[in-house]
Chains A and B, each alone.
Chain A
Amino acid sequence: MKFDVMLTGVGGEGVLTTQVMIARAANIEGHYVRGVQLHGLAQRGGVIPTFVRFGSEKEVSSPGIMQANADLILAFEALEAVRATYYARKEKTTFVINDYSLVPIYASLFNIPYLTMSEIIRRIKPFAKRIHVFKVSDLGREKLGNAIFGNTILVGVVTGIGLLPLKEDSLLEAIKVTAPREMENNIKAFELGLQLGREKRSAR
């Protein structure tokens, strides 16, 4: 078994912490885990493509995911979902997108307008088995006072829908050790997401 998750977003959004959460949950379930975080220069407001892979040690060895091979793509910033198509293909990949924009200054500097959500979805469609869109940053700001909790909400959402093959308990345990300072809010965020995800699943 092998499951490939890509997380993408903008430096400073907390993408790396989310990667560690998922990696720890997979480890708790006894999976062999690999992945890579690309920081350094990119961390300063640039794109942060991040990977977590888990499964059997025999099948998982490269730290990064192969082109066109992600099972699940979590885009914490909407536009970055389009750049992530490099790792996606129609037969395999589910996109879960946070409807949240961080408009780069290059939009006004080079006069290249930021895409609308419907245009983003239109462009992703040829690479996606399914696309889900949630406003988790708005929800984080509204319910928990900070947009950054959108990350943990999104992890809850994919668990609730059943898109991430890991158990709720393992994720909860991973969240507790990964974000001890904001544990209460992160648990709330995860549960909020779970509920959203479950509603989505039953509505199918």
Chain B
Amino acid sequence: MKMDVLEELGKKVVLLGNEAIVRGALEAGVGFVAAYPGTPSSEVPMTFSRIAKKVGLYFEYSSNEKVAFEAATGAAWSGVRAMTSQKHFGLNVAADSIPPVAYTGVRAGFVVMVADDPSAWSSAQTEQDTRYYARMFKLPMLEPSNPQECLDYTKLAFDLSEEFEIPVFLRTTTKINHSIGTVRLGEIKKPKIRGRFQKDPDKYYNLKPHLQVLHERLNEKLRQIEEKYGQKLNKVFPGEGKIGIITSGVSFEYAKEALLELGLKPSIAKIVLTHPISKSFVSNFIKDKEAVLVLEELEPILENFVKQIAKEANPNLVIHGKDLLPKSDEYNLERVIPALEKIFGKKFGIDFNDHKKKVDSASKNLTPRKPILCPGCPHRSTFYAVKKVFGDEAIYAGDIGCYILGALDPINMQDFVVSMGAGIGVSHGIGIVSDQDVVAFVGDSTFFHAAMPAILNYRFNNAGKTPLVVVLDNAITAMTGHQPHPGSGFTGMGEKVEPVKIEDVVKALGAQVKVSNAFSQKQLIQALQDLKSIKGPKVLISRGGCRLLTRRQFHAKGLAIPTFQIDQEKCTKCGICTNDFACPAIVKATVEPGGEPVYSINPDICLGCAVCVQICPEGAIHAVKKEGEK
């Protein structure tokens, strides 16, 4: 596909929010980018990965977000403009290293981009509001509302960072990252990629008593940023009446359109610099108002700030926000319009509740379509074999990756999911206090990201019933879009490197290890039975490539993926292939209403893994013979 992100100055193109962030960084002359992928932020590193060589900047997929943050810090300390990006939970991983860098500050501009995920479109854990981190770590935070602002504010964040020698957060949400919008491009700046670290105890020595000096310097920076940028970055859109709207991020876009739909024209205050929020800006906006509605997703951070300021600036002000809108899930026009209806006493033409009722009635008994492991996925085969050996009673620890979909019917083999690598850590505690069989699943990318210390701990504190760790190794970070990791054999710049073998690492961590072909039920079951009887730390590596990549490789070579079909004579309609194995390419359909169901394989989506052939008790599934084959 054409890379609009590299189009020339002055052009108007349609960009994804994440692409616009990359363009903003390019226009700021970013020279060093390090990241671990995490959706909804994943297209930021993916875009950098595609263009890094062409533009001449350094890009890497780091082994985790903390490592990425640290690497970018090193570059920014050495005078090269640097950036790191992650999803909200990724920032939790990086969090340990951020506060000291807030104290020391940086030399070149350093932007820390973070993507929250209200409604959890791409996440399984929580709807964490990362704006709290800006307050806890005392760092400035900018929030764009649309792709154009993604470009503008990323660029500005670099300047702000460099001017005050402070890392700057660029905070987004899913509907910013994954929204598209028209963007007018500026000029790409040739990146500076070489620098030099200068020793400077006054800047980097953060032990007592100098620590307090650094802390006071940080306080002073924030004061100056609020003073200089509070009025400049935040905007008032003047309007009519005594009721005002205060908003930021994507909520601004909803507010704008909802007000137009309702024919209302109140003044709107848009907060772009959401930390530190300008007291004078808010104070000026609220002083002549009777009421305000604060529109922000998740936590009432702006709202609480307005309440605090109103005590002095306008004690009689009525402040609405989370009294009318939820603290969970995301906003949209259907949520914002009813809140505006209530405050302005105006009725909108469409009754959303009534419409929703009609939709529910039309959707009655509609076959659900939840996400599911892809046809041909090696994880399905591994789950199937593990359940054969360990049964329904064993505890199955989940983790973060495609295999999280093993939580759904009919697999049901992710009894809990905490965070990257946590399945192994939590299993250790269960193994110590109970005598239950525990199997902890972890992906290859997650293994390198956060699982190694937990496995090491099995070896160190080798007590109780040690869980079996199953590494689902497809040699790529598949869930977020096939990014490489230390075991993949190539870097984010596309350079070949010697892949790190997971079995070598596992052995060094002190665990016994077996490797099986993920697409062979026989091999898997043998390896699992062998490991089941072993005491002490043990790891099965179930190895098989992501079939989506296999398909791509086949296509590139002009080869056809082998497809399979069901012999209707042999099929006894036992349903194991659909109800237990549950490959989405296998379809059970009734041709005549009330008639006998027929099982068949959809050739449009079958990816030819051939595992169904192995699990069919009747031997009814076989490869489709090409013409001329016997």
- Spell out A's residues near B (CB within 8 Å): 10-12, 17, 19-20, 23-24, 26-27, 31-47, 52, 57-64, 66-69, 79-80, 82-83, 85-86, 89, 102-110, 112-115, 123-124, 126-127, 137, 141, 147, 177-180
Can you list 8 pairs linking A and B with CB atoms under 8 Å apart? A41-B123, A62-B254, A62-B333, A85-B359, A85-B362, A108-B588, A109-B409, A124-B362
Residues from chain B with Cβ under 8 Å of A110 in the complex: 367-368, 409
Query: How far, in whole Å, are A36 and B122 apart by their CA atoms in the complex?
Result: 14
**Interface status of B484 (Cβ within 8 A of chain A):** no
Query: How far, in whole Å, are A89 and B362 apart by their CA atoms in the complex?
Result: 13
Given A63-B181, A68-B355, output 10 extra A-B contacts at Cβ < 8 Å: A40-B39, A42-B121, A44-B402, A52-B180, A63-B180, A83-B366, A85-B359, A105-B584, A110-B409, A112-B366
Residues from chain A with Cβ under 8 Å of B433 in the complex: none
Closest chain B CB from A107 CB (angstroms): 5
Is A115 a contact partner of B359 (Cβ separation < 8 A)? no
Is A27 a contact partner of B182 (Cβ separation < 8 A)? yes
Residues from chain B with Cβ under 8 Å of A44 in the complex: 371-374, 402, 405
**Nearest-CB residue, chain A, relative to B181:** A34
**Interface status of B175 (Cβ within 8 A of chain A):** yes
Query: How far, in whole Å, are A20 and B588 apart by their CA atoms in the complex?
Result: 34
Closest chain B CB from A53 CB (angstroms): 9
Is A82 a contact partner of B363 (Cβ separation < 8 A)? yes
Is A63 a contact partner of B402 (Cβ separation < 8 A)? no
Query: How far, in whole Å, are A40 and B120 apart by their CA atoms in the complex?
Result: 9
Closest chain B CB from A77 CB (angstroms): 9
**Residue from A47, A58, A59, A123 in contact with B362 in the complex, judged by beta carbons closer than 8 Å:** A123
**Interface status of B605 (Cβ within 8 A of chain A):** yes
Residues from chain B with Cβ under 8 Å of A85 in the complex: 358-359, 362-363
**Nearest-CB residue, chain B, relative to A24:** B14
**Interface status of B570 (Cβ within 8 A of chain A):** no
Query: How far, in whole Å, are A79 and B366 apart by their CA atoms in the complex?
Result: 8
Is B602 a contact partner of A102 (Cβ separation < 8 A)? yes
With contacts A34-B181, A41-B122, A105-B584 known, is A177 near B1, CB below 8 A? yes
Query: How far, in whole Å, are A103 and B366 apart by their CA atoms in the complex?
Result: 11
Residues from chain B with Cβ under 8 Å of A106 in the complex: 367-370, 409
The 7 closest A-B pairs by CB, nearest first: A40-B122, A63-B179, A46-B371, A108-B588, A177-B2, A66-B333, A45-B372
Query: How far, in whole Å, are A165 and B40 apart by their CA atoms in the complex?
Result: 31
Query: How far, in whole Å, are A124 and B537 apart by their CA atoms in the complex?
Result: 57
**Residue from A20, A37, A107, A137 in contact with B367 in the complex, judged by beta carbons closer than 8 Å:** A107
Is B362 a contact partner of A39 (Cβ separation < 8 A)? no
Number of interface residues of B (CB under 8 A): 70
Is A178 a contact partner of B1 (Cβ separation < 8 A)? yes
**Nearest-CB residue, chain A, relative to B331:** A62
Is B2 a contact partner of A23 (Cβ separation < 8 A)? no
Residues from chain A with Cβ under 8 Å of B194 in the complex: none
Q: Mark B2-42, 1 if CB is under 8 A from A, else 0.
A: 10000000001110100000000000000000000001100
Residues from chain A with Cβ under 8 Å of B582 in the complex: 105, 109
**Nearest-CB residue, chain B, relative to A114:** B367
Q: Mark B346-385, 1 if CB is under 8 A from A, else 0.
A: 0000101001101100110111111111100000000000
Is A68 a contact partner of B350 (Cβ separation < 8 A)? yes
**Nearest-CB residue, chain B, relative to A27:** B14
With contacts A32-B182, A45-B369 known, is A63 near B334, CB below 8 A? no
Is A147 a contact partner of B604 (Cβ separation < 8 A)? yes
Residues from chain A with Cβ under 8 Å of B13 in the complex: 27
**Residue from B180, B374, B597 in contact with A35 in the complex, judged by beta carbons closer than 8 Å:** B180
Residues from chain A with Cβ under 8 Å of B121 in the complex: 38-42
Q: Mark B140-154, 1 if CB is under 8 A from A, else 0.
A: 000000100000000
**Interface status of B136 (Cβ within 8 A of chain A):** no
Residues from chain B with Cβ under 8 Å of A113 in the complex: 367, 590
Is B362 a contact partner of A109 (Cβ separation < 8 A)? no
Residues from chain A with Cβ under 8 Å of B374 in the complex: 12, 44-45
Residues from chain A with Cβ under 8 Å of B123 in the complex: 40-41
Is B1 a contact partner of A61 (Cβ separation < 8 A)? no
**Interface status of B332 (Cβ within 8 A of chain A):** yes
Residues from chain B with Cβ under 8 Å of A42 in the complex: 121, 371
Closest chain A CB from B583 CB (angstroms): 8
Query: How far, in whole Å, are A45 and B365 apart by their CA atoms in the complex?
Result: 19
With contacts A46-B372, A105-B582, A109-B410 known, is A39 near B355, CB below 8 A? no
**Nearest-CB residue, chain B, relative to A146:** B604
**Nearest-CB residue, chain B, relative to A79:** B367
Is A178 a contact partner of B365 (Cβ separation < 8 A)? no
**Interface status of B308 (Cβ within 8 A of chain A):** no
Query: How far, in whole Å, are A204 and B307 apart by their CA atoms in the complex?
Result: 61
Closest chain A CB from B341 CB (angstroms): 14
**Quick one: which of B231-282 are within 8 Å of A by CB?**
250, 253-254, 256-258, 260-261
Closest chain B CB from A29 CB (angstroms): 11
**Interface status of B589 (Cβ within 8 A of chain A):** yes
**Nearest-CB residue, chain A, relative to B351:** A68
**Residue from B258, B337, B583, B589 in contact with A103 in the complex, judged by beta carbons closer than 8 Å:** B589
**Interface status of B578 (Cβ within 8 A of chain A):** yes
Closest chain B CB from A99 CB (angstroms): 14
Query: How far, in whole Å, are A40 and B39 apart by their CA atoms in the complex?
Result: 6
